[in-house]
Structure 1
Amino acid sequence: MDQQLRVFVTVADRQNFSRAAAELHMTQPAVSQYIQSLEKTIGTKLLERSNKYVRLNKAGEIVYHHAREILGLHTRMQNLVDDLMNTPSGRLTIGSSYTYGEYVLPHVVARMREHYPAITPTITIHNSTVIAEQVANRQLDVGIVEGEYVDDKMCIEAFADDRMYMIVSPQHRLAQKEQVTLADLEAEAWIVREEGSGTREAAEKMFRQLQISPSRRMEFGSTQVIKESVEAGLGISLLSYWTFRKERKLGTLRTLKYPGTPVTRSFSLLTKTNEFPTKALDIFMDLIRHYLPEGTHA
């Protein structure tokens, strides 16, 4: 049954029998046979097929959702048993929000790989909302999210504080001011992240707390694009110091001084409640707790 589910999930992900067969190192007729056998066991067709595509039907969507969870549980069970007999090894699925995932996590993973080369990490970067959903659905072993997160079904552990600053181009008119005013901030175009992002959540919280009502906003889905846009003089933004510390050293971005800033938020580790952690997960989480990025103070 596990092999049937594995083949089914691969076909659904690749939307093609030939590509699934190549990935699974199987023949295409063998893949088709596994799918037919699974459909016979379930009692209904699971895929809509044509010469151009392979898609899940309604029943297929239900089976796909649960198949991913079953396969994840099987892998986790095997890893736990292996842990009892061997040194830390195996696959570790890590999810992270953009800020930590793009600017800090690679250094943590590099350190883990240096000392524990038998652990194979797979990394997913997305906004905090999506990462939390994937941990809840057991698509990820552990997630790293920004800001305030509450869920009774999750173990939530704050492990680091992040300081966020208002940033501008050195050529911006506000860059020359010792301290900006509320009127200055409200008159500027603010560049913010998309809904669901922890950085967007922090910006909205700051607007409320400092009673800032921006007259213009632009929403971008990438921190890198926001930095480039601020450097180009398109507007101002609120970003984690971890994301722009290189630009600050180079002098291509500056921070603004305003009462109530920098804004502080937390990064948290998310895992499923009542899960047995593997040695690989324990090692990763311990590294995360003790890792302090260089130059975290502005």
Structure 2
Amino acid sequence: MDWASLSAFVAVADHGGFSAAAGQLHLTQPAISKRIALLEASLQARLFDRLGRQVVLTEAGRLLLPRARQMLAEAEAARRALQDLGQDIGGRLSVATSHHIGLHRLPAPLRRFTALHPRAALDIRFMDSEQAYAQVLHGEVELAVTTLGPTEAPLHATMVWDDPLHFAVAPDHPLARLPKATLADIAAHPAVLPDPGTFTHRIVADVFARRGLSLQLRMTTNYMETIKMMVSVGLAWSALPQTMVDAQVQVLPVAGVQLSRRLGYVVHGGRTLSRAAQAFIGLLQVEASSS
């Protein structure tokens, strides 16, 4: 059964004849007759009786007519939905991200996305970057915007922002009084860092480990705003992102040492991304080209 034959059947039933149906569908009468014949053959049932010049529905035709109207209406609704899909982006987009990235990197692309695609429903989940990786891997979210760490197939990571990290202390911290701090000087004082299993902790710890130095940890927490607070009141030093450096803390430059994180998005290579996800990634890429 095809839609063209079904449309011809409804047109003949509605207009009471093949000629009138042909005019309504802008076809020839033989074309309408052929479509009806094909439909009757596929259903193995006669749909019309030809009584002279009059065409009337058979019992099978009367049974089919309301169902044919419903099928054609549903087909039209599907066509319009697909048209809408081509013109606008809707549906649900699930994104996992860290609190830090959500506060300092995502406001602009999120604002732009919601303005461009008001029908899309954003499901934003805040968590550690390592958890965000796991959620993408297990299909619980479509996209993660995180600190990037080691990435293996089937996951794919794309860098959007370079995120420099600076050793920072309170202005009245003992380290702030040194004319020039070294890694050994910094290691002699307690630190506050994200948890040892996090990508950021590993970046900082590896720098000290390569010099044969160990870290003294006062405490760990994955909330960068809490870390900055502890630094600003003089309880510890830390490595803070450039976006968090202000007058409350003092940066300690260390010759020959540059710390940096890679921030970006992670997707599952085996998943077909929704148009909403593709649009959001496009906005992230605009951010990458402008930063």
For normalisation by structure 2, the TM-score amounts to: 0.65
Q: Which residues of 2 match residues 224-243 of structure 1 at below 5 A?
A: 224-242=225-243
Q: Which residues of 2 match residues 61-72 of structure 1 at below 5 A?
A: none
Counterpart CA distance in 2 for 1:118 and 1:277 is: 17
Alignment counterpart, residue 253 of structure 1, candidates 249, 253, 273: 249
Q: Which residues of 2 match residues 53-68 of structure 1 at below 5 A?
A: none
Counterpart CA distance in 2 for 1:237 and 1:210 is: 18
Compute the displacement of 1:162 (Å): 1.1
Compute the displacement of 1:139 (Å): 1.0
1:121 partner SS: strand
**Equivalent position of 1:176 in the other structure:** 177
Counterpart CA distance in 2 for 1:259 and 1:82 is: 59
**Equivalent position of 1:274 in the other structure:** 270
- Unmatched tracts of structure 2, length 5 or more: 1-80
- Unmatched tracts of structure 1, length 5 or more: 1-79
Aligned partner of 1:96: which letter? T
Counterpart CA distance in 1 for 2:212 and 2:122 is: 43
Compute the displacement of 1:99 (Å): 2.8
Compute the displacement of 1:285 (Å): 0.6
Bigger-Rg structure (1/2)? 2
**Equivalent position of 1:207 in the other structure:** 208
Deviations 1:178-211 (Å, cap 9, x if unpaired)?
4202332121111111133332222222222344
Counterpart CA distance in 2 for 1:271 and 1:192 is: 27
Counterpart CA distance in 2 for 1:83 and 1:205 is: 51
1:262 aligns with 2:258: yes
Cα pair distance change 1:99/1:196, threshold 3 Å: farther
2:150 partner SS: coil
Aligned partner of 2:166: which letter? Y
Runs of 4+ deviating beyond 6 Å: 80-83
Counterpart CA distance in 2 for 1:130 and 1:114 is: 29
**Equivalent position of 1:39 in the other structure:** none
Counterpart CA distance in 2 for 1:101 and 1:196 is: 21
Counterpart CA distance in 2 for 1:261 and 1:165 is: 10
Query: Pairwise CA RMSD of aligned residues?
Result: 2.5
1:114 aligns with 2:115: yes
Percent of paired sites with the same residue: 22
Cα pair distance change 1:206/1:273, threshold 3 Å: same
Aligned partner of 1:175: which letter? A
Native 8 Å contact 1:192 1:218 kept in 2: yes
